[in-house]
């Protein structure tokens, strides 16, 4: 059944509330997807965003969707075709760098909660007018970082964000301390060298450290 914008945003907020950090994953080899997801979930990061930037991405979502305790989403959703492919692969939520009516329509029709991207007050207000109040702030650092997000939050306190793009262990706390931030997206918890080496214990440690950020 189709989902309403308000329900889509409510469900996206629930997923964002699972942990302070949502791993943003670029998976090159689907054979590594399941142990990667297992390590991240074991470390306390159950919500996983697999970006649709590689040929292996959809297969990676299929593998990760089978990991107990994980909630796997598809990132970099741009077109309705992306939405269809993500849902068929088992994605439980979607993430987009921005938002178009066509994309929002497709996600609602597919019953896929979406975290749509916004970088300005006007973009956030347009999404709020459509009943989306849980948004992705992207690109976070390039758009002014935590100070910019704090400033946007002053006149728009009813909107919450997941900042992504340039978030790191060095600045994550500055975002998570904001009243309008539920979680942040970060890629550092799954560095390419550790994934390639199959160092799942190392990734689990990074995830566990990230899960303690913001003292949540």
pLDDT surpasses 80 at 206: yes
10 Å CB burial of residue 186 (0-12, 13-18, 19+) is buried
Position 166 confidence tier, pLDDT thresholds 50, 70, 90: very high
* Mean pLDDT rounded to a whole number for the chain: 97
Residue of 129, 83, 72 lying closest to 106 (CA atoms): 83
Which of the residues are catalytic? 49, 136
pLDDT tens, position by position, 174-188: 999 999 999 999 999
Domain with residue 159: its CATH number is: 3.20.20.70
pLDDT of 1 = 85
What is the model's pLDDT at position 170? Answer: 96
pLDDT, one tens digit per residue, over 8-49 is 999 999 999 999 999 999 999 999 999 999 999 999 999 999
Q: Which residues contact 195 (CB under 8 A, 6 or more apart)?
A: 27, 32, 36, 203
Mean pLDDT of 85-99: 98
Give the mean model confidence (pLDDT) for residues 59-69.
98
The angle at the Cα of 46, spanning 4 to 24, to the nearest 5 degrees, equals: 80
Average pLDDT of span 139-158: 98
C-alpha–C-alpha distance, residues 176 and 69, integer Å: 23
Nearest Cα neighbor of 108 from 136, 127, 89 is 127
Q: What is the mean pLDDT of residues 124-139?
A: 98
**DSSP element (H, E) containing 208:** helix 200-211
Full domain range(s) for residue 156? 5-215
The total number of structural domains in the chain stands at 1
């Amino acid at each position: 059944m189709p989902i309403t914008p308000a329900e889509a945003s409510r469900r996206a907020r629930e997923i964002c509330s699972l942990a302070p950090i949502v791993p943003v994953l670029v998976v090159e080899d689907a054979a590594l997807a399941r142990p990667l997801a297992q390590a991240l979930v074991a470390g306390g990061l159950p919500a996983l965003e697999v970006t649709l930037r590689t040929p292996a991405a959809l297969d990676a979502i299929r593998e990760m969707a089978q990991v107990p305790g994980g909630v796997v989403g598809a990132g970099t959703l741009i077109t309705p075709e992306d939405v269809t492919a993500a849902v068929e692969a088992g994605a439980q939520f979607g993430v987009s760098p921005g938002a178009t009516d066509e994309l929002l329509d497709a996600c609602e029709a597919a019953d896929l909660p979406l975290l749509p991207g916004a970088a300005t007050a006007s973009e956030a207000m347009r999404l709020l007018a459509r009943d989306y109040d849980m948004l992705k702030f992207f690109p976070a650092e390039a758009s002014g970082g935590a100070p910019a997000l704090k400033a946007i939050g002053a006149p728009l306190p009813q909107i919450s964000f997941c900042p992504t793009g340039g978030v790191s262990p060095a600045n994550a706390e500055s975002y998570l301390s904001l009243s309008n931030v539920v979680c942040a997206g970060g890629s550092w918890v799954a560095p390419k060298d550790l994934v390639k080496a199959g160092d799942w214990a190392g990734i689990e440690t990074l995830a566990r450290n990230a899960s303690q950020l913001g003292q949540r």
